[in-house]
Structure 1
Amino acid sequence: MRQRTVLISGAGVAGSTLAFWLVRHGFRPTVVERAQGQRSSGNPVDVRGTAVPVVERMGVMPHLRAAATRVPGLTFVTATGRRIGPLGLGRPSGDALEVPRADLARILYEAVRDDAEFLFDDTITALRQDTDGVDVTFERAAARRFDLVIGADGLHSGVRGLVFGPEADCVRHLGLYIATMPLHRTAADPSAVVMHNIPGRSVAVHPLHGEAGAAFMFRGPAIPGFDHRDAERHKKIVIAAYRDGDWDLPDLPDLPGRVRAATDFYFDAISQVRLPTWSRGRVSLVGDSATSVSLFGDGSSLAITGAHALADALAATPDDHEIALRAYEKHHRPLVTARQRGFQLAGALLVPSTNFGITARNLAIGLLPRVPRRKVASRTGS
């Protein structure tokens, strides 16, 4: 039997996981990644639920445990400085882990880097498919032909744009933006995520192995001409969003100055991808390119689970990609739909739009059981 070739666009969580399992199933994957290498930072994400047995079978669980953060819960700070929490909502338990996104992507990449071909600092510029394969044009590498092409290249997927149409036709802005950056100092409270709110805006300080990271979430309409790669404009947008209100925070003094000086700054709109199908011919999508959104960090778990489901489906019918891609979507779409439905609740919890909403949220949380710090620390090994 001829060894099937699969081009994967994106060397992140979904792309590396898919490459790993395709190799195990006898395929020959090539991964193309626009960046010059793996990112060195990132906000924490969860590996939980059906993703746990997948990473265990990949043999990377010991590495993930070593990289995991050890934060028991989420603490809200009121306008008077009173703390409410910590709240365990969305925090991992049992075998689930919270891991910085960059560490998760790196560990998954290292698990397959010696078995699959990786093309860094390159991207796909054109795709032309027929009944037998896909001709791919790259920005740098010579053109090649593959049996299948998979877009694992995130919310702003280039593969999706080439095959499924303009981003505006399939990505819906959900009225929220998020920005993250490291603070390059020790976290003032290494035992909790600490969140401050005013209507429509929040700032959270998250300890990552003792080092502080900041996350900004705020409400706003879609920005005309938004370019997800324009970091300088992103900083101006965040500074403008936080110009009003009392943000003289002990965890984050001189907020505008720190944003301007940040060298590792992530910003994007929180959006939801809506496609009637994730596959067209010999091209399919996995991870955020097909499935978004989560405000509780479990998008990475969906990416791992989806990549594994896709590899299994292709292995089940290697000579019939149409049956395989339909089976992948039938299996994975219900999990995605369930996660996407939780967006409104997550947004109301993390970024209430009014003072009344903040007060109601704080009162409701004040009635919930707290996370026992000592018990959580012993469970996570800290």
Structure 2
Amino acid sequence: MTKVLISGASVAGPVLAYWLKRYGFEPTVVERAPALRHSLGGHAIDLFGPAMEVAERMGLLTEVYAARTGTKTMTMYRPGRPPIDADVDRLAAGISSRHVEIMRGELTKLLYDASADDVEYIFGDSIASLDDDGEGVDVTFEQGEPRRFDLVIGADGLHSNVRRLAFGPEASYLKYLGGYLAVYTVPNYLGLDGQMLVHPAIGKLVGTYPVHQTGQARALFLWRRPEPLSYDYRDVDQQKDLLRQEFAGSGWEVPKLFSYLDEAEDFYLDSISQITLDHWHRGRVALVGDAGYSPGPAVGGGTSLAMVTAYVLAGELASYADPVAGLRAYEDQVRDFVLENRKVGPSMMKALVPTSKAGVWLTVHALHLINKLPTGLQNLVTRQSLGFAKALDSIELKDYQPSKVG
């Protein structure tokens, strides 16, 4: 039985483990965090067409729909002008044929629960070294005893440890898109119900939306910056101070949102960057999802990309007796899809965070116009204004049958 070590228990890791187990492999998932993250943690993410199909094939479609955020309206505020309301479902229809918004932590729990009974999960540990001798990979861990696997897969996100060990320093593959994202929990002091509030400014965007399952809300900040910030990723207080500096003097709801910043225990900040590797495996070590080709947090559909590519990786590995041949086939199958999705981030950054007063005006008025169009025309204008044509739907999933596994 082929033994596969997967690093990362967020999205791509559990999807990959689920399908590998179904196809007769022996997957083990190692996760640095001491336990599965809170099911309502993280920020709201979008699942588009093919990712929804993967969820359906996993028997999770009902649960995914039940866990929807419930956000129906996006309200964009303009200084001194009436706000503009937009139907979220209609906007999403211009990007993909199927769409659900769900909290990232809740999706992670659904995917973990689908695989946990049959898959070995190891929490509170991480890979320390990899030694690929061509026949297998000897792995040492920070905590556990050394083990040998037939394959090692990095599904450990934008700042992948597996990628660093097997492909080299992150700086060689990280393409900074010129901006940052920060998210944290706040009380739902505005009493929001199915409504996200957004305030655009030159080079900045602030938003807040409710989490109906908890009665709380999330504060969301996007901003442009010519050069990357320098900070200690372990120092959350330093990161919070950087956010305050970037939005110092901002009006609207920013002072109120900042009043809850010190007590926020789930604060997240990261650059909006892409991973631009040309190949996603070396020998018997491979990458999937953000670890291999992050399209950009908050702007690129990375969660959908992770689910789809993990499904394809498992299927291609199951289709070949030689695991390395399966990895090559996986690359061939997802390459065009990855490259199409790589175009999304820069387009979305331009649309969401304009760099000039004219750009802010154009974004606001484009939303106002799109919201008034008939559905079919609205879909067309949405795709053209964002600069890509349904990239998130641009793959047809194979039906990998376990009975056909070679």
Same fold flag (TM > 0.5): yes
CA distance 1:36–1:61, shift in 2 (3 Å) = same
**Cα separation, 2, equivalents of 1:287 and 1:243:** 35
**Cα separation, 1, equivalents of 2:193 and 2:255:** 18
Equivalence for 1:377? none
**Cα separation, 1, equivalents of 2:205 and 2:187:** 20
Shift of 1:344: 2.4
Equivalence for 1:106? 109
Matched, 1:197 2:200: yes
Letter in 1 for 2:185: P
Letter in 2 for 1:271: S
Equivalence for 1:25? 23
Deviations 1:76-124 (A, max 9, x none): 1101252123154336877532110000001000100110111100000
1:183-262 equivalent positions in 2, closer than 5 A? 183-185=186-188, 188-209=191-212, 211-223=216-228, 225-247=230-252, 249=253, 253-262=255-264
How many residue pairs were aligned?
366
Equivalence for 2:69? 69
Question: Structure 1: any 5+ residue segments left out of the alignment?
Answer: 373-382
**Cα separation, 1, equivalents of 2:265 and 2:87:** 31
Equivalence for 2:149? 146
Matched, 1:47 2:68: no
Question: Structure 2: any 5+ residue segments left out of the alignment?
Answer: 375-406
Assess if the C-alpha contact under 8 Å between 1:286 and 1:306 holds in 2: yes
CA distance 1:31–1:222, shift in 2 (3 Å) = farther
Indicate the RMSD between aligned Cα atoms, in angstroms.
2.0
1:111-130 equivalent positions in 2, closer than 5 A? 111-130=114-133
Matched, 1:168 2:166: no
Letter in 2 for 1:161: R
Assess if the C-alpha contact under 8 Å between 1:74 and 1:87 holds in 2: yes
Shift of 1:276: 1.3
Letter in 2 for 1:205: T
CA distance 1:224–1:211, shift in 2 (3 Å) = closer
Give SS of 1:293's match: coil
Matched, 1:180 2:154: no
TM-score of the two chains, using structure 2 as the length reference: 0.85
CA distance 1:256–1:191, shift in 2 (3 Å) = closer
Give SS of 1:156's match: coil
Q: 169-178 or 84-93: which moved more?
A: 84-93
Give percent identity, aligned residues only: 41
Equivalence for 1:280? 282
1:285-364 equivalent positions in 2, closer than 5 A? 285-294=287-296, 295-296=298-299, 298-317=301-320, 319-364=321-366
Assess if the C-alpha contact under 8 Å between 2:300 and 2:342 holds in 1: no
Q: 271-280 or 35-44: which moved more?
A: 35-44
Shift of 1:223: 3.4
Assess if the C-alpha contact under 8 Å between 2:130 and 2:165 holds in 1: yes
Shift of 1:15: 0.2
Shift of 1:225: 4.4
Shift of 1:297: 6.5
Shift of 1:69: 1.3
